Structure 1
């Protein structure tokens, strides 16, 4: 189980290593947009829209990596004081009852919109914007897929942890 979990982790490690650069690119594009607008009085809609695309890609594609490094927001009332085994049980229940089903449902219900967007090669959100809304919509199933992959990796580790009661998993 550990080998499979590690193999699944590698997907989000690779995506996370790539996606992290979007933050720097986004800041630079936003800076350039502001300089162009306020120093030179020039505005380009596609530049402003590119910040939206970069922001969406950063968060949607980085969600699996965030789960991998356990950096998601967690409402912790009792969790921190529980034993390792009980934490694993809560994480198992959370993954099987909430994370995985919700990702499957989001992917299922968003797929027709994504498919239709690709079918017509849906264009820009705004006039003069980036003519690729279909790419933006494609982030939804990618988000779901990456979170399912990482959710399964975490689930495998938590199952081993619960079974063994140690951190050997």
Structure 2
């Protein structure tokens, strides 16, 4: 089990690195979007390529951060229901959900998206829009993103089994630190207190 936990930590490190690097794309997309809007309204000029790069980068953010989101336990859950269960029951629900829902779906998407990417790459496929971009890089994001999600799913399975065996603390436990929203509210209150 220790070797599997070591593998889990390596997968978590990969997800963390990819996620933190990909987060910077949010800034890039915002800058491109603002520049595109400025040029369009100021100079009455628009480019399909600039619009498509925004879509491509948004796809990269969504797909490449899926594993990171799973690792951080920030994916969509029905907390009203799951919050009522014990940590052990919650771990079992995660194991069943990963094995019977996440893994089959992610493997199916990976399997089905690979030939589409290969076809786009071999045919050097371009967007059908005038001035559009090459398509294969964005098509590659689907198998890459779902591969990262599958890897993170394996890591989460390992952590849940290790928790059930008593080897690690509850991986679903929320940190005791304040949330980003709570920190922001506290900073605003402090600013108001200093200004008054």
* TM-score category of the 2 structures, normalised to the smaller one: over 0.9
Aligned residue for 2:11, secondary structure, equals helix
2:87/2:170 contact within 8 Å kept: no
Specify which of 126, 137, 145 is matched with residue 135 of structure 1: 137
Q: What are the equivalent positions in structure 2 for 1:20-169 lying under 5 Å apart?
A: 20-130=23-133, 132-164=134-166, 167=169
CA distance in 2, matches of 1:149, 1:125: 34
Q: RMSD between aligned alpha carbons?
A: 1.5
Aligned counterpart, 2:6: 3
Runs of 4 or more, structure 1, over 3 Å off, are none
Q: Any unmatched runs of 5+ in structure 2?
A: 172-196
Between 1 and 2, higher relative CO (CA 8 Å, sep ≥ 6) is seen in 1
2:91/2:164 contact within 8 Å kept: yes
TM-score by length of 2: 0.81
Deviation at 1:166, TM superposition (A): 6.1
1:84/1:165 contact within 8 Å kept: no
Deviation at 1:125, TM superposition (A): 4.1
Q: Any unmatched runs of 5+ in structure 1?
A: none
TM-score by length of 1: 0.94
